[in-house]
Amino acid sequence: MKKTALLSALIIAAWFSVQLSLDAHEPNELRWGGDAEGGAPYVFPDPKNPRQIVGYEVDLMNEIGRLLNRRAVFVQNQWDGLIPGLQRGNYDVAINGIEITDDRKQQVNFTIPYYATGEQLSVRVEENTINSLADLKGKTAGTLKYSLAQRILEREGGIRIRTYDGQINAYEDLANGRLDAVLMDWPIAIYYSKPNPRLKFAGPVIEQMKYGICVRRDNIELLKQIDRALLSLIKSGELRRIYEKWGLWNDETERVFAQITADSQKQGEALADYTQAVTRKLTWRERLKQYASYLPILLFQGAPMTLLISILGMTVAVAFGLALALMNLYGPRLVSWLAKAYVELFRGTPLLIQLYLIFYGLPNIGIKLSPLVAAVVGLGLNYAAYEAENYRAGIQSIPRGQMEAALSLGMTRGQSLRHVIVPQAMRLVIPPVTNDFISLFKDSSIVSVITMVELTKVYGQLASTYYDYIGVGILTAAIYFLMGLPFVRLARWAEARMATDKRVAVTAKRRWFGVGAKPVGG
């Protein structure tokens, strides 16, 4: 026991030391957060050497680190969590094509712009009717979630919007006919739309935007240092050389650089002292009022879709799961083996991978499913494997004498299963099936990765917009909890209603009082 305790203590101590070494970093390091899954040309794995991260922002941060005499160190973080990660202190700065917007200025300080561009509309090559946002009325457009392009599409109105975690999926859906157009930053379109022979640009660049490096509001000194470094790179022409290397130099950036250079000559040190206005702290009354404004969005946009996906998915799971169980127990050897293989395959692989294969993989063989159908099919097929095992256990728990008695009465095997075995098994499996439905109900949040706008997706949009992950998160969790309660109550009622012992007791009581049956000897 002493040796075991000592070994456990050593393992825990080693784990803590590793965590501390990961969290701590040397003073001469400049840790910057980005999302390598975002793709080219920002930050992405080198196709020739996936272990190496490349991109024009990698080159930019290396140059800034050189000027600050600090080694630039990349820290991976999901794009929509870059600013929260910066505020938590996971890294010193955040940079990943983050547009300078008023709401973000309230959360972090932005450096002077390091790049300027606009949004580019892409369509299929055979499409000739879409040349502007106005032409998208009544049509479906894709874009990156939480991006400026999404806000532009929402502001335009009348456009069905699908948001994506990565740009490649949106352009694939456009090429496969699931979308009518894609609106994304011009650098993204240059790398993912222009080289695709099935796609083309539609119309000129829409709206100008500027990228900035995010710095925590309490780190004014670092903000000044990076501003001076950026100004030096602009004046020396090094930043233009980086953009020309990646094929990204444009007129918008040239005009912004000219303005920055002119302003620096006029203002001198005033540019380095640039800071953002302090965010006004909300009172409890104002915060509660803000939370109340979230409820209609969560309840009427996200909740109905979550319910629909969950109910339809569970219906598929229950029906197909029962078929799998019967195939496993009573089918020919090949059919039984296939049913077992299906159960092991779908239980042994992640649901997320299955959804990706259904939604993004099947179009390669000519099968194109809408997001709703793909979500229902994905959840249904996954949970059918679990339901099949529930039904198998329930059927095998019924004594063999039940089947033999039914067969001796002249019933076929199918009639025996339908009228004798399966009804009894259904009563036994109600508790585990109920648990699986609650699990499916919560797992429906995963379908946001295939552009479904359900409750968790709406939560992410609100939390990212207002940078309030706690308040909105508690509201969303409460809605999930309240939505799940009726199904738990319904399952308990069904379990009590179908319980054999209680039904026998009720029947006996009715016979005793002469209800529903003629008294013995009457």
CATH topology of domain 284-513: MetI-like fold (1.10.3720)
pLDDT tens digits, one per residue of 107-126: 999 999 999 999 999 999 99
pLDDT tens digits, one per residue of 306-332: 889 999 999 999 999 999 999 999 989
CATH classification (class only), 23-114+212-270: alpha beta
Residue spans of the domains in the chain: they are 23-114+212-270, 115-210, 284-513
For residue 308, count other CB atoms closer than 10 A to its CB. Answer: 15
Burial label, 297 (beta-carbon count in 10 A; 0-12, 13-18, 19+): middle
505: left (phi over 0), alpha (psi -120 to 50) or beta: alpha
What are the b/e assignments for 63-80, b being 16+ CB within 10 Å? bbbebbebebebbebebb
In the three-class reduction of DSSP (H, G, I as helix; E, B as strand; rest coil), residue 284 is classed as helix
- Compute the radius of gyration of the chain from its Cα atoms: 30
More confident residue, 269 or 87: 87
Q: Looking at residue 46, what is its pLDDT? A: 79
Q: Assess whether the region 23-114+212-270 and the region 284-513 belong to the same CATH fold.
A: no
pLDDT band at 420 (very low <50, low <70, confident <90, very high): confident
Q: Looking at residue 120, what is its pLDDT? A: 96
Mean pLDDT of 43-63: 87
pLDDT tens digits, one per residue of 477-497: 888 888 888 877 877 776 677
CATH classification (class only), 115-210: alpha beta
Tell me the C-alpha distance between 182 and 163, whole Å: 10
pLDDT tens digits, one per residue of 188-244: 999 999 999 999 999 999 999 999 999 999 999 999 999 999 999 999 999 999 999
Look up residue 394 and give its two tokens: 């329930």
pLDDT at position 381 over 50: yes
Q: What percent of the chain has pLDDT over 90?
A: 48
pLDDT at position 522 over 60: no
Tell me the C-alpha distance between 324 and 344, whole Å: 12
478: left (phi over 0), alpha (psi -120 to 50) or beta: alpha
Mean per-residue pLDDT of the chain: 82
